[in-house]
Chains A and B, each alone.
Chain A
């Protein structure tokens, strides 16, 4: 390239850059009204979403998008009332009951229930589905832990017997991963529920192209990284869904999601953050901020291999008191979130009366002194470089870094890829880290089993170090009682006590419970956020 050409090239680039900046300045105009706007349910519904699909096989899937897809294509035994996100409602099972100590559950199936191909849905399918979920050993396999027997005395009755009390079993059966699979159809395509299913089951690839459920929709097409296309199951035995076709389209970022929503290219944008939502003034778009059950937390692991600081309870409490929670929520979500007391999200049983954290720098400094680190210390903080629920982790961690520096704690921030983070946290552990959590089902026990200092809980192991998990006997006893209780009032009290114990542990420090932004075209009805299933597309229709 000779010099003259290069001048023009460089000058052109400079002009292009200026032009870009100029368009960006003026890019705030309302360009709405582009959608057809007709109230026609035959027009496909387009959901813009950054998808995180790990598998389309109900026994292997474990992701937020999976919950939406599986809920649409597979019926669960029981459903969740979208009005309160708590009450279970009949679905495949018209009746169900647990025994007094919650070790046995009996489900009576609706005779009308069938699969999309017309095969009746029977107790054999339920047994097969549950056994396959356990034996394929996917991430949700733990839902079926403790089942000693599944009895099917007749095609409409399923009796599940458990080794130990489990008051959360109904919540697990309600979760989308426990959606009932057409066992004949799936078996014919390589699926098995046998004990060795984790090696002998060959159906995962088949599930990428087909659904085998009895839900209101069936899978019409799945293209990895592009779209999931759902077609209405016209033979659905329950309430017929209104929309003929639903497309979940891969759209990575909030900005593009917003643009597609405003122009009408998408009917629902699922990951718009509160900051971006505030900028939308388009009348054909409805924005609602609702409380979610997700939360972002930082975690301290005194037992991490690289940790050189004695992170005793006083020091951990000092960290909690040094954080400017309102400031963090402001900086990350423009105020679109709530503080959270214990690692059980606001709205779950037993969280009503827990004491929310607040900032007290003087107290934090005193605690540091009492904990034997009067001058503070330096600590490594590796965290996944992600943006979830509108919270940009880099922004959040820089704010936390500046908060902690006020009491003399210096954080070495190390943002890494999520996979790198996972390997590190499962291996050596990380002294101070940040991550997020979304519920698997609607029972608070999952938080004790994941965040509690109880045997087998991942964070008990990470906090204490590989061979010496940190344990809190009170949590062990209280959770055993909660699992055996059949009274919601009693469970609420027990979970409140557990919540207080977990606050005392000060291993998991919840930072924010972000609000969820429901952003959708105004002609859409039935938009909601479901605790079990994220979004139930079958409840949506156009005006």
Chain B
């Protein structure tokens, strides 16, 4: 299938002399990738060049943005920009861990359910139905509230919320792929269930998982910030975007306290959404817009 589409594309562009940009690399995808690269670079290097310490009182409290403090200072006189930059160090790793763990759990559950069917499938899918039946933020709140606030518990709660998405996705893919001819061929040659799953089914079923994971990255950043906003995520005084916005929310006239972390969340979510589009187009040309 892939080959057919590529031929079609080539046919359309035949005769062009300009160097070809791959169709999936559109402007938004480039912007998204750039945003993400910048934020990841910030997360890795911020402690080398950040103007101030994130926890230190470095100026007069509640000063509006100036050249000394580009994003102003908060109620304790800490530099908001520095804290926002350091915020990447909680938001990005959290999102990465949540997505990674959720993907692993979801894939195991989904593959087992899809491969074996029967009562195993029913059991696992009802479990995921139950989890999916709750609004994500509500379920995450319940879990964190019962475990106590803190980033680790929030992380656990978000994994609980997220795995069913991947389980269902992979199950559907596995069920579709396992009916295909090459799987039947492998079965007839005596391959075991495990080998079929790993060698012949999973590689084909992973595409939507990867696309979804990229798209979800931004959503997890948002959910983590939401949990921190309501006081169930990061504990003070750690610089986390959600808790910074929460600090700013009670000080309406000192808008800058919430503005900087707000813009940070906005760009990260936007970046991952754009990037997710690109990843989907790259991995799954069938849905590509022509």
Give the B-binding residues of A (Cβ under 8 A).
2-4, 6-7, 10, 13-14, 17, 21, 24-25, 27-28, 253-255, 275-276, 279, 330-332, 385, 387, 392, 394-395, 397-399, 401-402, 412-417
Is B76 a contact of A395 with CB atoms below 8 Å?
A: yes
Interface centre among A4, A330, A332, A402 (most CB of B within 10 A): A402
CB-defined A-B contacts under 8 Å, sample of 6: A2-B289, A14-B270, A21-B262, A392-B250, A394-B236, A399-B76
Is B236 a contact of A397 with CB atoms below 8 Å?
A: yes
Residue of A whose beta carbon sits closest to that of B281:
A3
Binds A, one of B13-21, B164-172, B252-260: B252-260
Q: Top 7 nearest A-B pairs by Cβ distance?
A: A24-B255, A255-B252, A398-B237, A395-B75, A385-B231, A413-B236, A398-B236
A17-B266, A397-B236, A415-B231 known; A275 vs B252 contact (CB < 8 Å) = no
A521 to B76 alpha-carbon distance, docked (Å): 32
Q: B142: shortest Cβ distance to chain A, in Å?
A: 13
Interface status of B50 (Cβ within 8 A of chain A): no
Is B251 a contact of A275 with CB atoms below 8 Å?
A: yes
A253 to B253 alpha-carbon distance, docked (Å): 13
Is B253 a contact of A3 with CB atoms below 8 Å?
A: no
Q: A27: shortest Cβ distance to chain B, in Å?
A: 7
A399 to B236 alpha-carbon distance, docked (Å): 10
Residue of B whose beta carbon sits closest to that of A382:
B148
B28 / chain A contacts, CB cutoff of 8 Å: 7
Is B247 a contact of A21 with CB atoms below 8 Å?
A: no
A392 / chain B contacts, CB cutoff of 8 Å: 75, 247, 250
Is B236 a contact of A276 with CB atoms below 8 Å?
A: no
Majority SS of interface residues in chain B?
A: loop
CB contact between A398 and one of B76, B250, B262, B270 (< 8 Å): that residue: B76
A506 to B231 alpha-carbon distance, docked (Å): 30
Is A394 a contact of B253 with CB atoms below 8 Å?
A: no
Is B148 a contact of A414 with CB atoms below 8 Å?
A: yes
Beyond known contacts A3-B289, A401-B236: 11 more, CB 8 A cutoff: A14-B266, A17-B266, A394-B236, A395-B247, A402-B76, A402-B237, A413-B237, A414-B148, A416-B148, A416-B149, A417-B231
Is A17 a contact of B262 with CB atoms below 8 Å?
A: yes
CB contact between A253 and one of B250, B262, B270, B277 (< 8 Å): that residue: B250
B231 / chain A contacts, CB cutoff of 8 Å: 385, 415-417
A14-B270, A399-B76, A413-B235 known; A21 vs B277 contact (CB < 8 Å) = no
A437 to B266 alpha-carbon distance, docked (Å): 40
CB contact between A331 and one of B76, B250, B253, B270 (< 8 Å): that residue: B76
Q: A416: shortest Cβ distance to chain B, in Å?
A: 7
Residues of chain B in range 147-161 having any CB-CB distance to chain A below 8 Å: 148-150
Residues of chain B in range 234-289 having any CB-CB distance to chain A below 8 Å: 235-237, 247, 250-253, 255, 259, 262-263, 266, 270, 273, 277, 289
Interface string of B24-65 (1 = CB under 8 A from A): 000010000000000000000000000000010100011000
Residue of B whose beta carbon sits closest to that of A332:
B75
Interface centre among B149, B235, B277 (most CB of A within 10 A): B149
A399 / chain B contacts, CB cutoff of 8 Å: 76
B252 / chain A contacts, CB cutoff of 8 Å: 24, 27, 255
Residue of A whose beta carbon sits closest to that of B287:
A3
Interface string of B125-147 (1 = CB under 8 A from A): 00000000000000000000100
A279 to B57 alpha-carbon distance, docked (Å): 24
Is B255 a contact of A21 with CB atoms below 8 Å?
A: yes
Is A279 a contact of B253 with CB atoms below 8 Å?
A: yes
Is B76 a contact of A415 with CB atoms below 8 Å?
A: no
CB contact between A401 and one of B237, B247, B277 (< 8 Å): that residue: B237
B145 / chain A contacts, CB cutoff of 8 Å: 417
A4 to B61 alpha-carbon distance, docked (Å): 44
A417 to B55 alpha-carbon distance, docked (Å): 24
Q: B227: shortest Cβ distance to chain A, in Å?
A: 13
A27 / chain B contacts, CB cutoff of 8 Å: 252-253, 255
Is B255 a contact of A331 with CB atoms below 8 Å?
A: no
Q: B250: shortest Cβ distance to chain A, in Å?
A: 6
A21 / chain B contacts, CB cutoff of 8 Å: 255, 259, 262
Q: A17: shortest Cβ distance to chain B, in Å?
A: 6
A330 to B61 alpha-carbon distance, docked (Å): 9
A415 / chain B contacts, CB cutoff of 8 Å: 149, 231, 235-236
A3 to B26 alpha-carbon distance, docked (Å): 12
A399-B76, A416-B149 known; A3 vs B277 contact (CB < 8 Å) = yes
B289 / chain A contacts, CB cutoff of 8 Å: 2-4
A7-B28, A331-B76, A402-B57 known; A24 vs B235 contact (CB < 8 Å) = no
CB contact between B235 and one of A7, A330, A395, A414 (< 8 Å): that residue: A414
A447 to B263 alpha-carbon distance, docked (Å): 47
Residue of B whose beta carbon sits closest to that of A415:
B231
A279 to B64 alpha-carbon distance, docked (Å): 14
Residue of B whose beta carbon sits closest to that of A398:
B237
B266 / chain A contacts, CB cutoff of 8 Å: 13-14, 17
A2 / chain B contacts, CB cutoff of 8 Å: 289
